Amino acid sequence: MLHRLTISELAGRLASGHVSATDALEACLAQVDRVDGDVRAFLSIDRDDARAQARAADAELAAGGGGGMRPLLGVPIALKDVLCHRGQPVGCASKILEGYVSPYDATAVARLKAAGAVLFGRLNMDEFAMGSSTENSAYWTTLNPWDTSRIPGGSSGGCAAAVAANEAFASIGSDTGGSIRQPAALCGCVGLKPTYGRVSRYGLVAFASSLDQIGPFTKSVGDAALLMEALSGHDPLDSTSLNEPVPRYRDALGATSLKGVRLGVVKEFQLGGMDTEVDAAFRAAMRQLEALGAEVREVSLPHSDHAAATYYIIAPAEASANLARFDGVRYGRRVEGPDAFELNSRTRGSGFGPEVKRRVILGTYVLSSGYYDAYYLRAQKVRALIRRDFEHAFAHVDAIVTPTTPTPAFKVGEKASDPLQMYLSDIFTISCNLAGICGMSLPCGFTRQPRLPIGLQLLGRPLGEADLLRIAHAYEQSTPWHREVAPLG
């Protein structure tokens, strides 16, 4: 079936003329019509605009377009509702931005357009990317295509669910503490969080500016490499963008052997509370990596125990500053009041959901006079130690391997009343963002009953995406997990 193809497979058929961009888009839209009533991944779809893009791609393909300069020509890709797309709504799954339409394209969106992609749909998420389950959306909870009684992960839950349900050939999300890798693991797809600064953040509605990074969700490692080439590169509109050359990531995919590759297993990540089936799948994945020729060594990240506490000081502090702009004055929701204070208070009180309020209050507190040194400044010092731990580890290994999540997808509502338990869903992913390194998740097995995906996380040194893609591709091609299709796929 057309909607189940990878980007690489679809691109070949588009180039040969066996299918059209319109065919590919209509296959996605038909799949949305079939399953999204159950999955609920999409917040909105502008079908007329998407069809116009597909027709333009078909005209270009008929004229001999595509190839190296336009490798995504005619490929339908969906966007998390946190990326600005000119003429389309961007609401961050929040009531406070209801009705707002973006006047410009995010750089990542502009680069996808330049590569020829057909961009369609706004994907559900935890409000302002604050959450690990998509239950914090102001609209509805997205459900896992493998078991609709369970969450798809978050905050980019709609991105992962749409790809797992084959409603889009790929999607683009954001990762602040695991928001690409965690839902990718729970939905059984590939998710890549690039090095901080590798992909421009211009046009990404900010949650925590020193942690956020844009990245792809795909059905295969090869597709992730293709999208990384399209998304990456210096952008003068983003002051944190790295001015480094972008390699051809697809060149990293040829090797089937991992001989000479050194992989690290983190001593501190061997937790007693991890789900037994997740632990068994992780150990089996390590044995497979060794069978491919990799050398496995134990490494230490001694400050990793403090990562969650550090993250939940720094991220809310940055969020409290970033979200101050949503005040009812310039755009978005406005609830009138007798004075500026009441206008601001009523607008934010009705516009933000409980999790956003919780984090803004926490962030404001840790930045307040008398507490800044005790909390925020100390957290930044611990962050520097966490980054140094990774530097020391990468002096001895080429990549670090961990489970992506400590458990498979949990049931809707299971952790909603316990924010601390919800925060621990990202225990293996948070350190990557604090250190600014790259990380990715790919499928490495399933639980038995119910049958739920399990993810394997690879962490690499800064700008080490090619190393991760090489390791991930060799593992993927030697295992069957990426060929599995969700019941609603």
- Report, as residue numbers or ranges, the catalytic residues: 80, 155, 179
DSSP track, 400-434: EEEES-SSSPPBTTSSTT-HHHHHGGGTTTHHHHH
**What's the rounded Cα separation, in Å, for the pair 389 and 393?**
6
Q: What is the strand order of the sheet 190-193 is part of?
A: 42-44, 118-123, 76-80, 171-175, 213-218, 190-193, 438-446, 453-460, 399-403, 262-266, 295-299
Strand residue runs (E) in 146-274: 171-175, 190-193, 213-218, 262-266
Name every residue whose Cβ is closer than 8 Å to that of residue 312 and which is 6 or more positions away in sequence.
362, 423
Strand residue runs (E) in 28-181: 42-44, 76-80, 118-123, 171-175
**What's the rounded Cα separation, in Å, for the pair 247 and 233?**
10
Burial of residue 94, with CB atoms counted within 10 A of its CB: 0-12 exposed, 13-18 middle, 19 or more buried: buried
The token duo for 55 is: 């027709």
Name every residue whose Cβ is closer than 8 Å to that of residue 43 and which is 6 or more positions away in sequence.
81, 89, 91, 93, 121, 122, 123, 124, 139, 158
Nearest to 130 by CA among 320, 382, 364: 320
CB atoms within 10 A of CB 103: 8
**What's the rounded Cα separation, in Å, for the pair 155 and 178?**
8
**What's the rounded Cα separation, in Å, for the pair 193 and 205?**
17
CB 175 within 8 A of CB 436: no
Q: Is 70 helix (H, G, I), strand (E, B) or coil?
A: coil
CB 160 within 8 A of CB 187: yes
Name every residue whose Cβ is closer than 8 Å to that of residue 229 and which is 6 or more positions away in sequence.
71, 246, 248, 249, 250
